[in-house]
Amino acid sequence: MKQLLLILLLPVSITVLLGCSEENIIIGTELNANTHTAPPSAPPYKVGDDIPALAYIEHNETYNAESVIPPQCYTKTNGVNNPCYACHQTDRTDLNRPNQMADGNLQGDYEFSDLGVKNHWKNLFVDRTDLIKGISDKTILDWINQDNYSEFIKKQQANSQWQGEITPIKNLAYPEKAFNSQGFAKDGSGWVAFNYKPFPSTFWPTNGSTGDVMIRLPSAFREVKGVYNQDAYLANLSLVELALKGLETISTPPINEQRVGSDLNSDGKLSIVNHITKQPHYVGDATSPLAYQLYPEGTEFLHTVRYIGVDSNGTIFNAPRMKEVRYMKKHNFKSKQELGTSYYREAKEKSFENLPQTLYLGDQGINNSFGWTINGYIEDTQGELRPQHKQELAFCNGCHKTVGSTYDQTFSFARKVTGKKGWGYIDLKSMTDVPNKGETDGEFLTYMARVGGGDEFRQNQEMLMRWFNEDGQLNTEKVKATPTLYDLITPSPERALALNKAYLSIVKEQSYLFGRDATLVKAHNVLEHVNDSQQPLKPEHRYVWDMQLAWAE
């Protein structure tokens, strides 16, 4: 409250960005937070005003110091509905696991700070029905089919003042042009796309977005004697997967051991192999040792969050236009023991009731204090990608810092289709709903049964109608009979277009500080304020879970 009152005293003019009229969200409308015609005679806000998100940024006032608490954590569990287990885990069976968070106790307990008990994600409680009426299907299709990544890269490259990373991939907006069948970027940039199972359920297309993830290892992992060598690169990528998943052997596309100069399958000879076994060190010019469930230093990830593409036949695909481009780089390798110190420091700060701290690095993004640099870019009012503000970036630490289910603070690579079949651009039609490690039923079937819906908030009506009976129980047999993930988690064309329009209204508002979820109507199963009357999850509805999957090699 003190911070908000400070805004009222600032004698600085800003333009209020948006009302709720339809003309304010039509594509191409000029909405510039930095323009004004004359200075006001009074402060721009008074008590009770609905302050725009960009006003907090312009005046450098913190809107939500607990932005590391994601919107999903405010879901009403009613004692039985548990979406929390996908992030919060305590598994004592693996004593060598570097992730020492052990936060399974947070499943449904609402253990928030005094500031965190208020749900700051106001966009969850906006009914966007009227906001999207003024956007035609043709308008939204024209919008989502534009490439906003290529121009973004050009501007970065032309900006001599830019101190952050630059990650060009030629034709990234059009994956079929950007990557070959094994996922290698055709432009020689070293980025490699992989096929992975989307994390439940924020990243299901039916809940608002499509996306992909690419990995890149440092040049030494791609070269032999200073020369690019795809056999060595593929071997090292496979060894990273083997180390992260704790495997002893893994299938690969054909690798010529003679070109690598290493006996990768331990048979005593150098030949063309389709499997490799765990090695003490990476190969080629890379010399670092493999580390259990940890990436080597210098590993990079690029993650694009896209609109939901809809073609003329109603088929859902990854649209060219990107909502966000997210980047991570492991700038510092930390051993299990060093990571333990980081986890201890986080726990100590929380025990002293300190608010979360985020280390900002200017153009480079943020340091999550676990060895990773994180950066992100998001659409401006005109749809061009821009660097995220430090308040917008702080949101990233909610998932990529201290979450019990992650592998080395990441999600997607641990969920890659294991081995040879997993190299190539993400393809929902190529995957079925396999179980998680240690379980028997499909992961998404299990998730929907535990959550009681097709999303964390239990408000995706299309998923409820498709996969749940009239009594609210999951139709298990129908889900099991679904042939692919595409059939299970993609929306109808009508829902896809509506979700795209809803998100566009957030873009035009630039209200990302209030939430990025493209909800169509006001959320009813989400708490606006947490109090002692909230029923915790019953013990029988809490679960131990591993995000890794039981892929058949």
10-residue stretch averages of pLDDT, the chain, 553 residues long: 38 36 36 37 63 94 94 95 97 94 93 93 96 96 98 98 98 98 98 98 96 98 98 98 98 98 97 98 97 98 98 98 98 97 88 84 96 98 97 94 96 98 98 97 98 97 98 97 98 98 97 95 96 90 97 90
Q: What is the pTM of this model?
A: 0.92
- Residue 113 CB burial class (10 angstroms; 0-12, 13-18, ≥19): middle
Nearest 10 degrees: Cα torsion 524, 525, 530, 535: 140
Answer yes or no: do 256 and 314 share one domain. Answer: no
As a dihedral over the C-alpha atoms of residue 143, residue 145, residue 149, residue 154, rounded to 10 degrees, the angle is -80
- Whether residues 432 and 507 share a domain: the answer is yes
In a domain, 6, yes or no: no
Cβ(18)–Cβ(509) under 8 Å? yes
- Same domain for 356 and 410, yes or no, is yes
Residues 200 and 228 in one domain: no
- In this structure, the number of other CB atoms found within 10 A of the CB of residue 452 comes to 19
Do 244 and 138 belong to one domain?
no
User: Rounded to an integer, what distance in angstroms lies between the CA atom of residue 101 and that of residue 439?
Assistant: 22
Residue 124 lies in a domain: yes
- Do 204 and 229 fall within a single domain? no
Q: Give pLDDT, residue 1.
A: 40
- The C-alpha atoms of residue 422 and residue 413 are separated, in whole angstroms, by 10
169 lies in the same domain as 240: no
Sequence letter at residue 328: M
CA distance 525 to 419: 39
Residues 6+ apart with CB under 8 A from 314: 492, 493
516 contact partners, CB below 8 Å, separation of at least 6? 123, 323, 503, 506
Domain residues for 264? 219-277
- Largest CA-CA distance found in the chain, in angstroms, rounded: 83
Is the residue at 448 inside a domain? yes
What is the rounded CA–CA span in Å between residue 527 and residue 125? 10
On whether both 390 and 502 belong to a single domain, the answer is yes
Residue 379's CB: how many other CB atoms inside 10 A? 23
- The answer to whether position 178 is within a domain reads yes
Q: Do 427 and 368 belong together in one domain?
A: yes
Q: Are residues 129 and 225 in the same domain?
A: no
Specify whether 376 is located in the same domain as 507.
Answer: yes
Instruction: Judge whether 333 lies within some domain.
Output: yes
Same domain as 206, residue 170: yes
The residue from 277, 309, 324 where one domain ends is 277
Helix ranges (DSSP H) in 168-310: 175-178, 230-245, 257-260
Among 463, 459, 425, 465, which Cα is nearest to 444's? 463
C-alpha distances (whole Å) from 480 to each of 22, 444, 458, 476 are 42, 10, 20, 6
Judge whether 548 lies within some domain: no
Give the whole-angstrom CA distance, residue 245 versus residue 253. 18
At 204, the amino acid letter reads: W
User: E strands, 157-244, where?
Assistant: 192-193, 210-216, 223-224, 227-228
Per residue, the 3-state secondary structure of 258-278, as one string, reads: HHHCCCCCCCCCCCEEEEEEC
> How far is residue 285's CA from residue 359's CA, in Å, rounded to a whole number?
33
Number of domains in the chain: 2
Q: What is the pLDDT of residue 37?
A: 37
> How far apart (Å, rounded) are the C-alpha atoms in residues 453 and 519?
15
